[in-house]
Chain A
Amino acid sequence: MKQRVAVCAVAQIKNEPDIWYQRFQGMVLECFETIVEQTGVTFDMDKGIRNVVTCSDDVFDARTISDNAITDVVGAHFRGEEKSCQDGSNALGYAMASILSGHDDVILVAGHCKESQPESRRMCSNLAFDPFYTRPLGLDFLSAAALQARAYLKQSQVTDAHLAKIVARSRENAARNPFARENELVTEDDVMQSPLICDPIRALHRYPVTDWAVAMLLCSEERAHEFTDKPVWLTGFGNCMDSYFLGDRDLSESTALQKAARRAYTMAGVDDPKTAFDIIELGDAYAYQLPMWAENAGVIEPKSAGKWIDSGGPDRMGVNLSGGMLNGNPFKLGGLARAMEVVLQLRGEAGDRQADKAQRGLAHGTTGAAGQHHSVLVFEK
């Protein structure tokens, strides 16, 4: 029998460009209260939540050990609390490991980020680089992504026109997602006319500054019925870290994603990822990443992405129906946003964008320069 844990409830606030009227504690609190309301979960030390996994970023929060400031509003007072300072999908992986190992059976996962708070998102990601070799040269996640985009586009059949299609589609999908950031619809021309901000990345190729918070309740298989009659099962998780120095990597492909995906598929018993999923959510912070991650996650053949886009592959395979990261989710929370969409789809709660007969879904998250770290989650109904 497969090892699996239940996602009993998910809650989020709307992705917005600038939640100026709330501090992040208030944002998380709304999600937290929704979870409690949905499930009736308590903080009873025997039967309730004894452990919380949070996801946040010190630099964006402008305080070291950022999770210390969130304990009250996630009920972590005098309970276990751990922070994932990777992409939030790893918070789910961590919760899964805790439950499957028998360490705990009910875990709350919560994440928050306000990208609107710092003056410059790029200054924040510049700090991810080492202070001697790369940081003084001004590398940030955008310029690192541009180096990768250049390398990937050169060896794939993906063109500027394909990227324009991806962006326009993302906006259309997001328009059907009430929790998505409200962006104007754009045409493919609009995208191709948008200025190059870091060649070959154009202004509309890049995910916009966004504030968001999210929470999920996970528990062991045996206890799922206490909290929901519609559990979604997390059946596979894999993650992998690539080299820190960009020069050590072949940026045109992602070995780390390949390995992370293989680990998740093995755990979930997925034989052929090209046909296994009804829903696929990929962490496309930049337009070029949607086809690149699709190839490296093995859901399409290598070097087939151009044709796949032209032939309507993303729609056919239910890829990023939420609008994706490209429409706007904040730093570190991309993977949690992807998981959120997969869970809603499998529960049949995705409203106007609901896919037919969704049984199994893939969620992917990445962080670090040019996708240094990847994680892949498999969810089933």
Chain B
Amino acid sequence: MTFSPLEDYSGMNLGDYIDDCVKRYSDFPYMTFYGTQYTYAEFQRKVHILANAFTKLGFKKGDFIHVWVQNSPETLMAYYAAIKIGAVAGPINGWWKGAEVEYLLNDSKGSCLIVEDQYMPIFDEIKEKCPHLKTIIEIGESPSGNYISFDKLISQEDDTPVTCASDPEDPSYIFYTSGTTGNPKGVLLSHKNVIADAKMINAAAMKDENKKFLCFLPLFHVNAMLTCMSAMNKGHHIILRKGFSATEFWEVVEQYKVNFWSAVPAVYQILLSDPTHEKYDLSSMEFGICGAAPLSEDLMRNFEKTFGVEIIEGYGLTEGTCVSTINPRDGVRKAGSIGLPLPGQEVLIVDEEGNEQPPNERGEIVIRGDNIMKEYYNNPDATADTIDEKGFLHTGDVGIKDEDGYIFIVDRIKDMIIRGGENIYPKEIDNTLANHPKIMEAAAVGVPDDVMGEEVKVFVLPSDDTLTEEEVISFCKENLASFKVPKQVEILEVDMPRNPIGKVLKKTLRQWAVEGAPKRQKSGATVADIFGTMESRVNPDGVKGITANYGYIITGEGGGEWTVCVNDGDVKVLEGLHDPNVTTTCAAQDWIDITLGKLDGMAAFSSGKLKVEGDLGLLTKATQFFKKYQPPRAAAEVEVADIFGSMESRVNPDGVKGVTANYGYIITGTGGGEWTVCVDDGKVKVLEGIHDPNVTTTCAARDWIDITLGKLDGMSAFTSGKLKVEGDIGLLTKATQFFKKYQPPGAEEQEKAEELIVYKTVLSIPQRFSTGPVMGKFLNGFKEKKIFANKCPSCGRLQLPAREVCAECVVRADQWVEVGPEGSIAMSDITYYASPDPLTGESRETPYISAHLLLDGCKGHETLWHELNPADIDKCKKGARVRPVWNKERKGAITDIKYFEVID
């Protein structure tokens, strides 16, 4: 059997569900969050304390309690406590900006907000505009102290068990989804919805008990919320993290013996590309769940091959609580398919009239089951548009179901092109063209057409510059029905328009189809020049201590192969590939864009434009190796023939006076030739060929041009052997005065610019500053290793460093308090100095770390800013304990403290 039978949940509310789970797994660990672990019973006790505290604060059934807190046990405690008292938990997306949160709070009219200190700056901006908020609870490491303390609520004694009295149909959660159009909508989920979906996913994919589940997706989305809920029912142990971090993933898996996790495709791509996994014991891994975006077949196969674990792809919407289909773990998993409907859900493919389509026919995916949301809160029109009278949720996704019942997503309805009454799914065209060897990515859109209503236009991102529009059309003709063949093809010079997670914005493409796509701006940079200038751009600090060969395969026009050999500070760039430790493959134009900073390297990597094989970790270091690349200014074309041809017109009469001799020149290489410059006491003739020279100079054309332009010094060319002389060398020294400066054709403007005089003086007037009594008291304290803050007599806040006046109260801050000397980091800041300093040429220590330090005895914004020990870079985190390192001799200056160091 593919899926296990669905457990009964009738009559149950989420409080009952939680209590039942806790009863069964009481002493098992429920959650580990960094250094903190809770058993099921301990977690439940915290939930009860908080629920009792909520009741004392006056919250009751039906109230909305919004939670704006990053992943932490407290986030879930807040959800569960709210649900226990019959209130509705309202997670707030931590990535949202002020305006979005403001909209949410005014739409839900929720009266309570639990907010983490990191979001306070945003909250402070909008709080005046959120009149419905009555109670604000603050959580975090450094709360402002202006609101109710979450820590105090959760530390209360009253842990009387709370029994949830809600009806299964009562709302439990409200999740706001941000649609691509219009305002966010509040998805109201009932107790029954959440229990149903949790039990459904367990029936489909979780037979085992007491597994280790790694949760790094944000708890403000349904995915993490639901997996934490469903995990309870099987006694799983949740390893909760604040967010996804590629650098810690493997370490966490090894440390906690993680069995499964849930992620999005981008995470799998990053994990697959990171070779550091080889260092870890990953034998505990069993499977990964993937959702939120389509997973490519390649990625899925490669991941499974590399790690020997399965990726289970699923599909669902917030409106369906979370999951609606999944590939069975024990049955056939079809690549590219979102799998089979979960037990208890009907997932159908229907036509425009709502009739179910036969297998392999396209239609909209609709879903029915106990998991389907109650409604969009306060938005009956949107609810009616989404859930039909038969109770089916319309997803807006176009899909097909095969004979075995597996569902494949084809497209979004709104992206569909209707050409002369025929429905065309642009995804089909996109996917077809993606198989063309010269195409990296294609995206088709509908453009208005007088005859057909809409016509197909396809935008193509080539992987090979030689791609033509005709090739695109003929490829489509071979592989697609004729009505789907695009009428217009545009080969893009720039990247596709994308949203922050890399998804192509078809809306913008439709605009481009009408207004034209942006063109690439020419920079003058070439791949050869980028590699050719690398040795001269080495940043000594960046390459220090690194020994590795970096191979580059740059494809397309102007590309080639290079190896950058870094050997502890020494850098050599070779053509061709030579034993690379890591190899980067990239199209020439993308490589130029990355080098010029027009394309973000990370974005190029995650979108697949830049492919890496080998030790990926090495590559992240490489970003510091070189100083900025400056593309060459478009240089005037200079030819040797022009230099000799213009000599007669450039004669300097004073220079040639009194000299009679023939100067022969043999210029070798491309553009070279032979010339004789015949000087006869003031007269100069330049002849082609060699004619009785008194002295003959032999030189490569390239070098001769450089000497003439002043880029190569004649004398050093001679000593280095680039320039060879036969005959009377003495004559040659006179020749330097014969001609006026050679002007390459079209170089006049550049010459004008050189007339600028740059006047260099450093503005410096010696100054003698006095401290005044206040600053003097503060600095004098340093002599005795004491740190004094001055205190405002009116508001009581401390000032560091001491200043005369409390700016807020505008009174003298004339009281003194000794603080510190130890404290903690309130906010650390790491800066990479350019070294040497472009202004002074002095070398600087890099990175430079500074921090706002909250010394013991201070609170809130009473921070002192000082440097941190650069060696502590890895330990510089908010909250880390620090102490000052004093200079041996102290003179009453801020630099008497060398820096603060992190106390282990």
How near does chain A come to B791, taking the closest CB pair, in angstroms? 15
Q: Which of B761, B768, B804 contacts A131 (CB 8 A)?
A: B761
Flag whether B810 is at the interface (Cβ < 8 A).
Answer: yes
* B775 adjacent to A23 (CB under 8 Å): yes
* B759 adjacent to A131 (CB under 8 Å): yes
Q: Using CB atoms, name the residue of chain A closest to B803.
A: A72
Residue of A20, A26, A59 most packed against chain B (CB within 10 A): A26
How near does chain B come to A309, taking the closest CB pair, in angstroms? 37
Q: Which of A22, A29, A120 contacts B770 (CB 8 A)?
A: A22
* B769 adjacent to A62 (CB under 8 Å): yes
Q: Which of B709-765 contact A (CB under 8 A)?
A: 757, 759, 761, 763, 765
How near does chain A come to B869, taking the closest CB pair, in angstroms? 29
- Residues of B with C-beta under 8 A to A62: 765, 767, 769
Q: Which of A26, A75, A136 contacts B810 (CB 8 A)?
A: A75
* B812 adjacent to A29 (CB under 8 Å): yes
Residue of A22, A71, A118 most packed against chain B (CB within 10 A): A22
Flag whether B766 is at the interface (Cβ < 8 A).
Answer: yes
- Residues of B with C-beta under 8 A to A26: 772-774, 804
Distance of A33 Cα from B757 Cα, bound (Å): 51
* B765 adjacent to A119 (CB under 8 Å): yes
Distance of A72 Cα from B770 Cα, bound (Å): 18
Known: A29-B812, A62-B769, A117-B767. A73 touches B804 (CB 8 A): yes
* B771 adjacent to A43 (CB under 8 Å): no
* B807 adjacent to A72 (CB under 8 Å): yes
Known: A26-B804, A119-B765. A21 touches B810 (CB 8 A): no
Contact with B along A61-78 (1 / 0, CB 8 A): 010000000011101010
Known: A43-B810, A77-B810, A118-B765. A23 touches B770 (CB 8 A): yes
- Residues of A with C-beta under 8 A to B7: none
Distance of A116 Cα from B769 Cα, bound (Å): 9
Q: Which of B759, B769, B773, B812 contacts A21 (CB 8 A)?
A: B773
Flag whether B418 is at the interface (Cβ < 8 A).
Answer: no
* B767 adjacent to A23 (CB under 8 Å): no
Q: Which of B766, B768, B805, B808 contacts A73 (CB 8 A)?
A: B805
Q: Which of B444-493 contact A (CB under 8 A)?
A: none
Q: Which of B788-811 contact A (CB under 8 A)?
A: 803-808, 810
Q: Which of A286-300 contact B (CB under 8 A)?
A: none
How near does chain B come to A331, taking the closest CB pair, in angstroms? 13
How near does chain B come to A128, taking the closest CB pair, in angstroms? 13
Flag whether A127 is at the interface (Cβ < 8 A).
Answer: yes
Known: A29-B812, A62-B767. A22 touches B772 (CB 8 A): yes
Q: Using CB atoms, name the residue of chain B closest to A119.
A: B766
- Residues of B with C-beta under 8 A to A127: 763
How near does chain A come to B592, taking the closest CB pair, in angstroms? 38
Known: A21-B773, A23-B770, A77-B810. A124 touches B765 (CB 8 A): yes
- Residues of B with C-beta under 8 A to A73: 804-805
- Residues of B with C-beta under 8 A to A25: 772, 803-805
- Residues of A with C-beta under 8 A to B773: 21-22, 26
* B772 adjacent to A21 (CB under 8 Å): yes
Count class of interface residues, chain A: 20 to 34
Residue of A72, A120, A123 most packed against chain B (CB within 10 A): A72
* B804 adjacent to A72 (CB under 8 Å): yes
Known: A127-B763, A132-B759. A77 touches B808 (CB 8 A): yes
Q: Which of B220-272 contact A (CB under 8 A)?
A: none
Residue of B759, B767, B771, B773 most packed against chain A (CB within 10 A): B767
Known: A72-B807, A77-B807. A117 touches B768 (CB 8 A): yes
Q: Using CB atoms, name the residue of chain A closest to B810.
A: A75
Known: A127-B763, A131-B759. A71 touches B769 (CB 8 A): no
Distance of A29 Cα from B806 Cα, bound (Å): 12
- Residues of B with C-beta under 8 A to A19: 770
Q: Which of A23, A59, A75 contacts B769 (CB 8 A)?
A: A23
- Residues of B with C-beta under 8 A to A77: 807-808, 810
Contact with B along A135-171 (1 / 0, CB 8 A): 0100000000000000000000000000000000000
* B767 adjacent to A119 (CB under 8 Å): yes
- Residues of B with C-beta under 8 A to A117: 767-770
Q: Using CB atoms, name the residue of chain A closest to B763.
A: A127
Q: Using CB atoms, name the residue of chain B closest to A117.
A: B767
* A29 adjacent to B804 (CB under 8 Å): yes
* B759 adjacent to A119 (CB under 8 Å): no
- Residues of B with C-beta under 8 A to A131: 759, 761
- Residues of A with C-beta under 8 A to B806: 72
- Residues of B with C-beta under 8 A to A72: 803-807
Q: Using CB atoms, name the residue of chain A closest to B768.
A: A117
Contact with B along A13-50 (1 / 0, CB 8 A): 00000011111011001000100000000010000000
How near does chain B come to A123, taking the closest CB pair, in angstroms? 5
Distance of A120 Cα from B773 Cα, bound (Å): 25
Distance of A62 Cα from B765 Cα, bound (Å): 8
* A120 adjacent to B810 (CB under 8 Å): no
- Residues of B with C-beta under 8 A to A29: 804-805, 812
- Residues of B with C-beta under 8 A to A33: 812
Q: Using CB atoms, name the residue of chain A closest to B769.
A: A117
Q: Which of B761, B763, B765, B807 contacts A120 (CB 8 A)?
A: B765
Distance of A352 Cα from B775 Cα, bound (Å): 38
Residue of A117, A131, A136 most packed against chain B (CB within 10 A): A117
How near does chain A come to B42, taking the closest CB pair, in angstroms? 46
Q: Which of B161-180 contact A (CB under 8 A)?
A: none
Distance of A72 Cα from B765 Cα, bound (Å): 27
Residue of B763, B771, B804, B812 most packed against chain A (CB within 10 A): B804
How near does chain A come to B774, taking the closest CB pair, in angstroms? 7
Q: Using CB atoms, name the residue of chain B closest to A42.
A: B810
Distance of A1 Cα from B806 Cα, bound (Å): 42
How near does chain A come to B865, taking the closest CB pair, in angstroms? 16
How near does chain B come to A118, taking the closest CB pair, in angstroms? 5
* A119 adjacent to B768 (CB under 8 Å): yes
Distance of A75 Cα from B806 Cα, bound (Å): 9
- Residues of A with C-beta under 8 A to B812: 29, 33
Q: Using CB atoms, name the residue of chain B closest to A132.
A: B759
Q: Using CB atoms, name the residue of chain A closest to B775.
A: A23
Distance of A127 Cα from B769 Cα, bound (Å): 20
Distance of A117 Cα from B765 Cα, bound (Å): 10
How near does chain A come to B805, taking the closest CB pair, in angstroms? 5
Residue of B803, B804, B810, B812 most packed against chain A (CB within 10 A): B810
Distance of A20 Cα from B769 Cα, bound (Å): 8
* B759 adjacent to A118 (CB under 8 Å): no
Contact with A along B792-836 (1 / 0, CB 8 A): 000000000001111110101000000000000000000000000
Residue of B765, B766, B772, B803 most packed against chain A (CB within 10 A): B765
Distance of A29 Cα from B773 Cα, bound (Å): 13
- Residues of A with C-beta under 8 A to B768: 116-117, 119
Distance of A71 Cα from B808 Cα, bound (Å): 11
Distance of A25 Cα from B771 Cα, bound (Å): 10
Distance of A124 Cα from B765 Cα, bound (Å): 7
- Residues of A with C-beta under 8 A to B766: 118-120
Distance of A43 Cα from B810 Cα, bound (Å): 8
How near does chain A come to B377, taking the closest CB pair, in angstroms? 38
Distance of A29 Cα from B807 Cα, bound (Å): 12
Residues of A within 8 A of B (CB): 19-23, 25-26, 29, 33, 43, 59, 62, 71-73, 75, 77, 116-120, 123-124, 127, 131-132, 136
21 contacts between A and B (CB under 8 A): A19-B770, A21-B770, A21-B773, A23-B769, A23-B775, A26-B772, A26-B804, A29-B804, A62-B765, A62-B769, A72-B803, A72-B804, A73-B804, A77-B810, A116-B768, A117-B768, A117-B769, A123-B765, A127-B763, A132-B757, A132-B759
The 5 closest A-B pairs by CB, nearest first: A77-B807, A23-B772, A119-B766, A72-B807, A26-B772
Give me 16 other A-B pairs in contact (C-beta within 8 A), A117-B767, A131-B761 excluded: A21-B770, A21-B772, A21-B773, A23-B769, A23-B770, A23-B771, A23-B775, A25-B803, A26-B772, A29-B805, A29-B812, A33-B812, A71-B807, A75-B810, A131-B759, A132-B757
